[in-house]
Structure 1
Amino acid sequence: MAKSIQMNELTLGVCYYPEHWPEELWEDDFRRMREMNISVIRMAEFAWAMLEPEEGKFDFGFFHRVMDLAHRYGLKVILGTPTATPPAWLTHKYPEVLNANVEGVLYRHGMRRHYNYSSPKYRELCAIIVRKMVDAYKDHPAVIGWQIDNELNCEMNVFYSEADHVAFRAWLQERYATLDKLNKAWGTVFWSQTYTDWEQVYLTRPMVNQSPNPHLALDEKRFISANAISFARIQADLIRELAPHHWITTNGTFGHLDSHELTDELLDFYSYDSYPQFSTIFPSDDENPLADRAWSLNLSNTRSISPNFCVMEQQSGPGGWVDRIEMGTPRPGQIRLWSYQSVLHGTDLLVYFRWRTATMGTEIYWHGINDYHNRPNRRVREVAQVGEEFGKIGALIAGATYQAEVAILQDYDNVWDGELDRWHGPLQWKSVRAWYKQLQYRHIPADLITLRAKTDLDDLAKYKVIVYPHAAIMTDETAELLTKYVEQGGKLIFGARTGYKDMTGQCYMRPFPGPVAELCGITIEDFTLIKGTVGVAELQWEGSSLPAGTKAVGFNEVLSIEGTDVDIVAAYATEYYKGMPALTRRAVGEGKVWYYGAAFSEPVVDALLEEIGLVALAADWVEAPAEVEVGIRSNKGSDYLFLLNYASEPVLLTVKQSTTDLLSGAQLEGSTELPAYGVMVLDITKR
């Protein structure tokens, strides 16, 4: 059972850094927060140097004063353990705590997250500060919970200090027990890489062409995740011991970290940091890109960890460091829009980053709700509007869950393996984007779910359609589970490069797509990566509205039909494999399975959606243009329809049945205008 935050109503919070401001500002800050219906503050996650200014000398008085005043104003407090920013005295005295690059060069003090998880000394010092901090604040009436560290694996998700090499060897010894098993898993007979002593084994190091053993590289990422969880466990165990009445979370979903395992083992729920304006830094070259709306995909991933969760940092202004991460100012309405984007996807506690823009340091351009001058601005007014609206609808929405009949399936092993493997990794990202984008534009809500060892048929059977695009690593056990899903009525869609690797990342000596070849009723006769001068075939799809000239992008597999019950849905129209199957369909039990021998593009996704006959979940209630995200949260028999306009212009909706917009109180039916960046939440409960 996935872990969720437990809130009685939608709750608004803000990140607050009292150490950045004169003490005489605090009371006015807290008064204004309460006027805006902000009732939670997060703080102290970067304050180690204040809490322990010298080794072994602690001072907890500062934050006691802050929390005493916060409590007087009815504010609750989330405390962050300060281990993301070790103080200068620590890194100077104990340089072994520092992380290193692949060449072994240490990252020096002056930034954040420059430590490694493996250092025994760092773990010891972290345990001391966390124990002292929890013991000092555990009985304060304002404190409700703890955030472990801050954004584990953010900014740096590879670790090559000497302590990491030592910890990696220990992890491998536990995983494989013997060098013979390790050598077999890593295929070290290739290029005479065979190890004869554990001391010969290292994480990735500088080498010719910078191309590591791919099986080592996969285990390296598994180790980094396990090591981060081990590091977090020290803190979680201490908090559970000393403050069992407080909840525990951590924030952000970053690379090389199994956030599902972390949550299952250590946390009460997961938290996400949502910055949709990042879409302006790395714009997509897709036609009709999702832009800031793409953050719904990230929120969907968080929802797979905790169906109801916290956004610990919600963008509340333009962002930027002095030298990078340059983001423009959100347009009027966008902060509110992004807030409800988070709420639609499962957020019940929304914490803005930050209360006031810092006047010093690296993040002086990472703006908060308030500007440097601390006078009212439109961001303050917009957040105050959200606070007022939370007061109206908060008790209705909290605990409600997102509704979806379609799921995009992923797993950590394939994501991590695909970082190095150019024959399937890039296909994954292209296909997931294409599917999520077209589902969004057709108003078909989708979940992003993660296949794990504990995933069972009940987890999958609630979805009518599952897309598992390019699962290169595939086991027979997974194939058996997916077969049962199809047999009981599910519709399953695979893409190219499925099922040709085992859990070590080695290729099977069996026809592709390996474990699911029998399920799909096909094998792969021929194939080519589409790269450089290699031509890409066009598609011929009878009975579909697929545009003429649509290409099968990324990779082309020529499918061989292995059974009379397999239908050819589309064929290649050009290249030397002209006329050969590109997309097949097979009925299995009560369901169907499709196999497509390429990466998915938007036109192909659209054609498949028509083939399957999927319709919008709220089609009986609203007709909306593609610019509007449509989704439903349901709770105890009540259904709430969210309409989010990401366009810079007003759009027209058709509300097909009489209903109420819970935010404005307006009765709606027929043609209705949704303003630029506007939001509506409609009660569509069947009475």
Structure 2
Amino acid sequence: MSKSLTLNELRLGVCYYPEHWDETIWPDDFQRMREMGISIIRIGEFGWSLMEPEEGVFDFSLFDRAVNLAAKFGLQVIMGTPTATPPAWLTQRYPEVLNASHDGTVYQHGGRRHYNYSSTKYRELCAVITRKLAENYKDHPAIIGWQIDNELNCEVNVFYADADHRAFREWLKKKYGTLDQLNHAWGATFWSQTYTDWEQVHLLRPTASNSPNPHQALDEKRFISDNTISFAKLQSDILREVVHNQWVTTNTLFGHLNYHELTGEALDFLSYDSYPLFSTVRPEPGDNPLLDRKWSMNLSAVRSISPNFCVMEQQAGPGGWVNRVGVPSPRPGQLRLWTYQSIAHGADLISYFRWRTATVGTEMYWFGINDHHNQSNRRIEELQRVGVECATIGGKIAGTRYAAKIAIVRDYDNEWDGELDNWHGPMDKQSSLEWFKALQYSHIPTDFLYLHSGITLEEMLKYEVLVYPHPAIMTEETAELMKQYVQRGGTVIFGCRTGYKDEFGHCNMRLSPGPVAELCGIAVEDFTHVIPSEEATQIHFSGGQDAYTADLFNEVIRLESPSVEVMAEYSSKYYKGKPALTRNKVGDGYAWYYGASFNQYVIYEMIARLGIQSPIQEHCIVPKEVEVSIRQSGDRKLLFLLNFSSDSAEITFKHQVEDILTQQQHTGTIMLEPYGVIIVEITS
């Protein structure tokens, strides 16, 4: 069961650091926030050294004054627990709390996120500050919610302190019970790795071959996730014990963390930090890059956990650390566009990072709404417009949910295993991105669906099509779910390397695709990597003229059931004429299997043959530069058209509509301004 933010109207907020500024300017800051339509501030997540200047001595007076003054201006407050940046007295007195690198180098004080989750002393001190803070603010009417820590697993998502190695052993003892079971799970007979004493067992350490045990590596990531959740739950349990009518969340979507379990065990909903310009300085590979539009992919992943969520940090300016190349300044219109990008994908609370740019520290070039000079700028003017619009339309949008009939399937084990395993990890990254890209450019709203321990068949049946690109690890339970989904009328699409591993990451002694071979009605009789220096393998679809490339890895498919149809064949290499893409009817649905990594051109052909239609066909015609999203409640649908181009986009409406942002009536062809947004209500 998903957990969502529940609001009756859209809310705008901003990250504020009262400890950075003279108190004489607080009133002006808060007054100007209100004038911009901002009604929430988020504070406190880096304030530990002020809240507890020495061990056991607590002083919340600065934050008391800030919260009380904010309340006088009608602002509500999200309070952060300050555990992301332990004070210097703590790390000096208790150096065992510090994290360490893979080679054992201890990270020292002077940055952030330099602690480890396993230290019993750190957990003890975190529990104390969390409880004291909660007791101080439990009855304050301005506090609406709590943020645990800040960006769990950001900066560093692996932990190798002595405390982590000890905690890993205890986790393994609980998971496997005996060393015999551990040795079996890790395939320890290979290279004489068999363990005879628990003290011999560690997290990954540097090896001469620079190629660690892959099964150990997978368990390491599972441990890190469980350990992080335990750390978060320590704080959430205290908050739930002490405070009432105040929700609990955290802002995260970083590596080695099962967010479904985190949210289920510790949070009321998940929050996210949205910085679309990161995708422009590190554009995705391949043709037709999405750039800042790619951030919709991340927002879709958040939505799979909490359909309605909070963006705790929404990019509001150019940025970069002192020692890192910065991202460029948002172009006029982009801040508004990114706000509605987040809203279109399910965010009902948007908190901008940050109110004013810091004048000191590592992030003094990470610009917020206000520049250092604190005078008006175009970003302020743009967000003033957003504030007016959200106040007008917020009640119509909040609580509605993103609507999609197709989902790209993910799971944590395959993501973590694929970090090390180049025989499926790179393919999964490419295929997921290419499917998302092709669906975006085809104006087909798309969800992400994580197969986690609590997933139900009914959740899967909400979708007409599931794309599960390269699930190397495939359990019998997951295979059975897929079979039931197809029998009930769903269509599932698999790619190469499906089903050749079990839950330990061991290769199956059976023909691929292993547990779903019968569902697909095929077997893989041969395979090969596609070497980049060689000419790409060609495929042709049945009845089609165009040739497409079959990327990265090619599997030669053998038909095992008379019900299987060949949808495409290889047309080059030694396996020319062999099936490359198949479709098998099972019950009321279909199982497709593709023997390569997907690219967008193959996907466009598949979309056509699948008969997937864009939901806007009867309403409007839009170019590919415009993203289409739909938020829905009952029969009421809100269509978002987001222009991610620096040029105007031609939109043709097939009937009269009203833009709820401007109350303008549109019919026929109009030009949507660069980075422009239109939201209209439509009927099916």
Corresponding residue to 2:667 among 669, 675, 678: 669
Aligned to 2:580: 582
1:637 is displaced (CA, Å) by 2.9
Aligned to 1:106: 106
1:264 to 2:264 alignment: yes
Aligned to 1:404: 404
Aligned to 1:562: 560
Q: Distance in 1 between matches of 2:533 and 2:369?
A: 51
Corresponding residue to 1:678 among 676, 679, 684: 676
Aligned to 1:615: 613
Q: How does 1:40-439 map to 2 (within 5 A)?
A: 40-439=40-439
What secondary structure does 1:629 align onto?
strand
What secondary structure does 2:524 align onto?
strand
1:245 is displaced (CA, Å) by 1.9
Q: Distance in 2 between matches of 1:280 and 1:447?
A: 23
Q: Distance in 2 between matches of 1:552 and 1:264?
A: 40
What secondary structure does 1:544 align onto?
coil
1:653 is displaced (CA, Å) by 0.5
1:372 is displaced (CA, Å) by 0.5
Aligned to 1:652: 650
- What amino acid is the match of 1:616? S
1:619 is displaced (CA, Å) by 1.4
Q: Distance in 2 between matches of 1:360 and 1:543?
A: 65
Q: Distance in 1 between matches of 2:636 and 2:394?
A: 14
Q: Distance in 2 between matches of 1:591 and 1:543?
A: 22
- What amino acid is the match of 2:19? E
1:14 is displaced (CA, Å) by 0.2
1:209 is displaced (CA, Å) by 2.3
- What amino acid is the match of 2:330? P
1:443 is displaced (CA, Å) by 0.3
Percent sequence identity over aligned pairs: 59
- What amino acid is the match of 1:43? I
Q: Distance in 1 between matches of 2:411 and 2:91?
A: 36
- What amino acid is the match of 1:366? W
Corresponding residue to 2:627 among 620, 629, 649: 629
What secondary structure does 1:182 align onto?
helix
1:368 is displaced (CA, Å) by 0.2
Aligned to 2:474: 474
**Could you tell me whether the CA contact under 8 Å between 1:535 and 1:575 is conserved in 2?**
no
- What amino acid is the match of 1:640? L
1:604 to 2:602 alignment: yes
1:325 is displaced (CA, Å) by 4.3
RMSD: 1.0
What secondary structure does 1:305 align onto?
coil
- What amino acid is the match of 1:656? K
Q: Distance in 1 between matches of 2:656 and 2:460?
A: 34
1:674 is displaced (CA, Å) by 0.7
1:231 is displaced (CA, Å) by 0.6
Q: Distance in 1 between matches of 2:56 and 2:193?
A: 46
1:539 to 2:539 alignment: yes
Q: How does 1:456-471 map to 2 (within 5 A)?
A: 456-471=456-471
Q: Which segments of 5 or more consecutive residues in structure 1 lack a partner in the other structure?
A: none
1:535 is displaced (CA, Å) by 5.1
- What amino acid is the match of 2:299? L
What secondary structure does 1:407 align onto?
strand
Q: Distance in 2 between matches of 1:446 and 1:489?
A: 19
Q: Distance in 2 between matches of 1:428 and 1:509?
A: 23
1:285 is displaced (CA, Å) by 3.3
What secondary structure does 2:678 align onto?
strand
Q: Distance in 2 between matches of 1:564 and 1:7?
A: 53
Aligned to 2:516: 516
Q: Distance in 2 between matches of 1:284 and 1:410?
A: 19
The C-alpha deviation readout for 1:33-58, integer Å capped at 9, x for no partner, is: 00011000000100000001111111
**Could you tell me whether the CA contact under 8 Å between 1:5 and 1:308 is conserved in 2?**
yes
**Could you tell me whether the CA contact under 8 Å between 2:138 and 2:244 is conserved in 1?**
no
The C-alpha deviation readout for 1:511-569, integer Å capped at 9, x for no partner, is: 10000000001000000112344553111222236x43x21001000001111111111
What secondary structure does 1:323 align onto?
coil
**Could you tell me whether the CA contact under 8 Å between 2:404 and 2:463 is conserved in 1?**
yes
1:89–1:469 distance in 2 versus 1, CA, 3 Å: same
1:67 is displaced (CA, Å) by 0.7
**Could you tell me whether the CA contact under 8 Å between 2:552 and 2:596 is conserved in 1?**
yes
The C-alpha deviation readout for 1:256-278, integer Å capped at 9, x for no partner, is: 00011000111000000000000
Q: Distance in 2 between matches of 1:391 and 1:370?
A: 21
Q: Distance in 1 between matches of 2:41 and 2:337?
A: 22
Report how many residues are paired.
Answer: 684
1:477 is displaced (CA, Å) by 1.3
- What amino acid is the match of 1:31? Q
- What amino acid is the match of 2:356? R
**Could you tell me whether the CA contact under 8 Å between 1:473 and 1:501 is conserved in 2?**
yes
- What amino acid is the match of 2:465? V
1:673 is displaced (CA, Å) by 1.3
Q: Distance in 2 between matches of 1:50 and 1:188?
A: 49
**Could you tell me whether the CA contact under 8 Å between 1:274 and 1:295 is conserved in 2?**
yes
What secondary structure does 2:34 align onto?
helix
1:455 is displaced (CA, Å) by 1.3
- What amino acid is the match of 1:38? I
1:615 is displaced (CA, Å) by 1.1
1:642 to 2:640 alignment: yes
Q: Distance in 1 between matches of 2:340 and 2:667?
A: 22
Q: Distance in 2 between matches of 1:325 and 1:36?
A: 31
**Could you tell me whether the CA contact under 8 Å between 2:638 and 2:680 is conserved in 1?**
yes
Q: Distance in 2 between matches of 1:256 and 1:614?
A: 34
- What amino acid is the match of 2:657? T
**Could you tell me whether the CA contact under 8 Å between 2:2 and 2:305 is conserved in 1?**
yes
Aligned to 2:526: 526
The C-alpha deviation readout for 1:472-524, integer Å capped at 9, x for no partner, is: 00011111110111111111100000000000000111110000000001000
Runs of 4+ in 1 over 4 A off after TM superposition: 532-535
What secondary structure does 1:658 align onto?
strand
The C-alpha deviation readout for 1:618-647, integer Å capped at 9, x for no partner, is: 211111000000111012432110000000
**Could you tell me whether the CA contact under 8 Å between 2:542 and 2:566 is conserved in 1?**
no
- What amino acid is the match of 1:246? Q
Provide the TM-score with structure 2 as the length reference. 0.99
Aligned to 1:9: 9
**Could you tell me whether the CA contact under 8 Å between 2:118 and 2:164 is conserved in 1?**
yes
**Could you tell me whether the CA contact under 8 Å between 2:630 and 2:638 is conserved in 1?**
yes
Q: Distance in 1 between matches of 2:457 and 2:2?
A: 15
- What amino acid is the match of 2:262? L
